[in-house]
């Protein structure tokens, strides 16, 4: 029987008619909030009224029966659909690997079947352990930082040993249709975040113990391993102190990047024997003339720490990363690693971790998943829905008289240029050369796949970025707006209750429609407002007058959402969640505009919208999420948004004094 952790008032307060969330103002917060129910109290969910807590009225009974499993932080509609999707992916892989069909060499099925067969048959972990120990001996024999970094690059490329910073080739968010060289902010090392170790002695000890165990796995005695790990933690703390955590949490993550010329980059890494582009990509020249960097100060500190004095600590970190990356083979071979095994059945681990979660297989598996689960009926219905949403947004923007005429024209142009990338865009083509990736053994095949992925990434340098390619796996339960002015919608998110081609329009608009409308809304929020109709970074595409009009409305909305609380104490951060709240609010206005005064379909929309964001959270996670998550809690996403909808008041007879009531002058609007 699985244990469950105590759940925050997302569950317990569901039994209290007024719910845990405040109304629109601080004063009303005191009137409508409630204490969590005692653990032994029998909760009467039938007492919850739609007029007081619509989210609880719709979801309470279901949520009370679906607590997160022990060790899980949250559970809800998205997690339920994700669990279903995982089973579908497992079934898809199972069909491939059990088939008697002779697959064409280099095809998706050929690779998946051969990797699976090799993984399931492999039983020589001792050989891998011996190989890793030999590589660790090589690490320990290195005599300089430059030599170590050169070796680190090779071990990253072939063995997956994470580097302190990872240069990569990614979509250029500032030049449409191009790639760029980019170095994102490093979040941490050896499985521990910089922010955690900077704020907690316990986290430092955990990091030290982790690296100690990795060193003991290759035959260091405990005292020596402990001493080396402690010094490595000191190095990590130095980097943590120079990390700009606000850049990593910026509401607009693209604005945090700065362009650094190749010459300046070489200056930042003055302690390397060669340039970064030469070290990691083997190139003599940077085609783009520089790099996009998120945290220059962090890179400068890393360079400062790349001295002979710290060489041993860097060796400790590399050994720890190398052992970590190969844990699936090593956890059975060293006592100090026994607790780090996944604990999962081998078949499940191979299917989910080795295949479905491996970026190399994403395009292949995405195409196969879409082929099996994305029907022509669904395609037609979703495309029609997307155009309904576009037309509704067109009407809302056209009627936004608080914008200038030129501003409305610019927004409409961006709306008309917005493209929807659906699951049928996922394509897997047979490449005979990929058959060569299947080597004599499973570990060798993994090395070859890693190397191919690394080299393919480098191959993007100088190429054009395909603006129509999916940016997510079709089996990921998600949708996404990209600054290049595209909305990606996966096949997995087309499951009920989000979507059913046979369902009523109101029901589907409450699920997938609300999600797509939300993503479309991001095209006009503070994060993506700097990108024009072609997805190009051009902050002047919209006048200052119109920008200021958006800011004025956003500031009122930020105050509105900040008045909502969790546990009557912890306030939602209206500024941090501004972009997501605006997207939710805009989506609601868009859909209500589609359904007009059709109360039957509106009621279905409201109810399925509440189901879409149903969730339960472990108490500590729910509180932490207020700081770390740019989304408001699920209950806020429903009650706070619907409290601004006039048709909602009419259908559910909301009156002054009800928990869902918000005075007209306090209500906020997106458009």
Global pTM value: 0.88
Alpha carbons 547 and 385: distance in angstroms, whole number:
29
Percent of the chain with pLDDT over 70: 93
Interval 70-95 mean pLDDT = 92
Tell me what pLDDT residue 3 has.
28
Q: What's the pLDDT at 25?
A: 32
Q: What is the pLDDT of residue 370?
A: 96
Distance, in Å, from the CA atom of 616 to the CA atom of 639, rounded to the nearest integer, reads 16
What ranges in 399-435 are assigned the alpha helix state H?
405-417
Of 140, 297, 303, 116, which is closest to residue 218 (Cα–Cα)? 140
Q: Pick the residue with more confidence: 627 or 224?
A: 224
β-pairing, 486-489 vs 419-421, is parallel
Domains in the chain, ordered, with CATH?
1-72+496-671 (3.40.390.10), 167-315 (1.10.1380.10)
pLDDT mean across residues, the chain: 90
Question: Of the given ranges (61-65, 93-97, 388-392, 658-662), which has the lowest mean pLDDT?
Answer: 61-65
What are 92-149's pLDDT values in tens digits?
999 999 999 999 999 999 999 999 999 999 999 999 999 999 999 999 999 999 999 9
Choose among 350, 355, 373, 352: nearest CA to 474.
Answer: 373
Name the strand (E) or helix (H) holding 325: helix 311-325
**pLDDT over 60 at 607, yes or no:** yes
- Looking at beta carbons, which pairs linking 646-649 to residues 24 or more positions away fall under 8 Å? 647/592, 647/597, 647/599, 647/602, 648/54, 648/602, 648/606
Q: How confident is the model at residue 622 (pLDDT cuts 50, 70, 90)?
A: confident
Residue 2, pLDDT score: 30
How far is 205 from 626, CA to CA, in rounded Å? 26
Q: What is the per-residue pLDDT across 144-166, written as a single tens digit (0 to 9) for each?
A: 999 999 999 999 999 999 999 98
What DSSP element (H or E) covers 85? helix 77-98
406 and 544 Cβ atoms separated by less than 8 Å: no
pLDDT in tens, 167-213: 999 999 888 889 999 999 999 999 899 999 998 999 999 999 999 99
Q: How far apart, in Å, are the Cα atoms of 628 and each of 251, 571, 622?
A: 11, 13, 10
**Alpha carbon distance 476, 482 (integer Å):** 16
Edge-to-edge order in the sheet of strand 290-293:
167-171, 179-183, 290-293, 258-261
The whole-number pLDDT of residue 39 equals 40
Q: CB 594: neighbour CB atoms within 10 A? A: 22
- CA–CA dist 313, 140 (Å, integer): 11
Q: Is the pLDDT assigned to residue 65 strictly greater than 80? A: no
Give the pLDDT of residue 13. Answer: 31
Residue with tokens 């007879």, as numbered in its chain: 653
37 has a pLDDT exceeding 60: no
Share of the chain above pLDDT 90, in %: 76
Provide the pLDDT for residue 179: 95
Q: Residue 69's pLDDT band (boundaries 50, 70, 90)?
A: confident
pLDDT score at 251: 62
| Residue 627 in this model has a pLDDT that exceeds 70 | yes
Does 22 score more than 60 pLDDT?
no
252 pLDDT more than 90: no
Instruction: Give pLDDT, residue 224.
Output: 97
**And the tokens for 535?**
């997805």
Helices (H), 99-221: 108-121, 125-140, 145-159, 194-199, 201-216
pLDDT score recorded for residue 43: 61
pLDDT tens digit string along 517-557? 999 999 998 778 889 999 888 889 999 999 999 999 999 99
The model's pLDDT over 445-492, given as tens digits with 9 standing for 90+, comes to 999 999 999 999 999 999 999 988 888 999 999 999 999 999 999 999
């Amino acid at each position: 029987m699985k244990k469950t952790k105590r759940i925050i008032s997302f569950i317990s307060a569901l039994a209290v008619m007024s719910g845990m969330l405040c109304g629109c103002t601080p004063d009303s917060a005191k009137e409508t909030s409630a204490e969590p129910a005692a653990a032994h109290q029998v909760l009467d969910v039938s007492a919850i009224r739609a007029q007081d807590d619509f989210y609880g009225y719709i979801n309470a009974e279901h949520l009370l029966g679906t607590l997160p499993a022990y060790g899980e932080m949250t559970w809800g509609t998205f997690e339920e659909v994700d669990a279903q999707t995982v089973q579908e992916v497992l079934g898809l892989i199972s069909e491939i690997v059990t088939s008697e069909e002779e697959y064409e060499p280099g095809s998706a099925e050929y690779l998946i079947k051969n990797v699976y067969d090799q993984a399931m048959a492999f039983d020589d972990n001792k050989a891998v352990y011996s190989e890793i120990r030999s590589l660790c001996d090589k690490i320990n024999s290195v005599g300089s930082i430059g030599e170590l970094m050169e070796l680190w690059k090779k071990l990253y490329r072939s063995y997956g040993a994470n580097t302190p910073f990872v240069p990569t080739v990614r979509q250029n968010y500032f030049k449409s249709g191009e790639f760029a060289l980019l170095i994102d902010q490093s979040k941490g090392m050896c499985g521990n975040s910089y922010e955690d170790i900077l704020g907690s002695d316990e986290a430092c000890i955990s990091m030290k113990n982790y690296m100690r165990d990795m060193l003991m796995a290759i035959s260091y005695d405990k005292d020596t391993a402990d001493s080396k790990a402690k010094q490595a933690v000191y190095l990590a703390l130095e980097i943590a102190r120079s990390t700009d955590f606000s850049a990593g949490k910026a509401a607009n993550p693209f604005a945090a990047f700065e362009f650094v010329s190749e010459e300046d980059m070489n200056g930042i890494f003055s302690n390397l024997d060669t340039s970064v582009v030469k070290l990691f990509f083997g190139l003599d020249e940077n085609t783009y003339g520089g790099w996009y960097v998120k945290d220059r100060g962090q890179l400068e500190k890393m360079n400062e720490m790349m001295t002979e004095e710290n060489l041993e600590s860097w060796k400790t970190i590399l050994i720890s990363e190398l052992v970590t990356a190969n844990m699936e083979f090593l956890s059975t071979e060293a006592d100090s690693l026994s607790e780090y095994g996944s604990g999962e059945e081998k078949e499940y681990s191979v299917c989910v971790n080795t295949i479905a979660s491996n970026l190399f297989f994403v395009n292949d598996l995405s195409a196969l998943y879409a082929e099996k689960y994305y029907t022509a009926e669904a395609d037609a219905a979703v495309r029609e829905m997307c155009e309904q949403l576009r037309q509704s947004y067109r009407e809302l923007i056209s009627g936004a008289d608080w914008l200038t005429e030129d501003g409305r024209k610019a927004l409409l142009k961006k709306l008309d240029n917005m493209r929807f990338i659906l699951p049928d865009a996922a394509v897997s083509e047979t490449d005979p050369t990929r058959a060569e990736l299947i080597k004599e053994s499973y570990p060798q095949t993994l090395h070859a796949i890693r190397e191919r992925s690394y080299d393919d990434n480098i191959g993007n340098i100088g190429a054009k970025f395909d603006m129509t390619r999916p940016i997510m796996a079709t089996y990921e339960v998600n949708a996404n707006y990209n600054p290049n002015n595209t909305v990606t919608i996966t096949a997995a998110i087309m499951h009920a209750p989000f979507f059913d081609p046979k369902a009523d329009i109101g029901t589907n608009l409450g699920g997938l429609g609300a999600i797509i409308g939300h993503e479309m809304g991001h095209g006009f929020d503070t994060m993506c407002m700097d990108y024009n109709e072609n997805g190009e970074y051009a902050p002047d595409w919209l006048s200052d007058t119109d920008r200021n009009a958006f800011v004025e409305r956003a500031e009122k909305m930020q105050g509105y959402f900040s008045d909502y609380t969790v546990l009557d104490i912890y306030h939602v951060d209206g500024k941090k969640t501004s972009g997501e709240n605006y997207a939710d609010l805009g989506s609601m206005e868009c859909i209500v505009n589609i359904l007009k005064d059709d109360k039957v379909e509106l009621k279905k929309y409201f109810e399925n919208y509440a189901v879409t964001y149903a969730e339960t959270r472990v108490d500590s996670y729910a509180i932490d999420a207020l700081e770390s998550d740019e989304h408001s809690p699920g209950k806020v996403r429903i009650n706070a948004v619907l409290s601004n909808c006039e048709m909602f008041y009419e259908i559910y007879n909301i009156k002054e004094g009800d928990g869902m009531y918000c005075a007209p002058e306090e209500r906020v609007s997106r458009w």
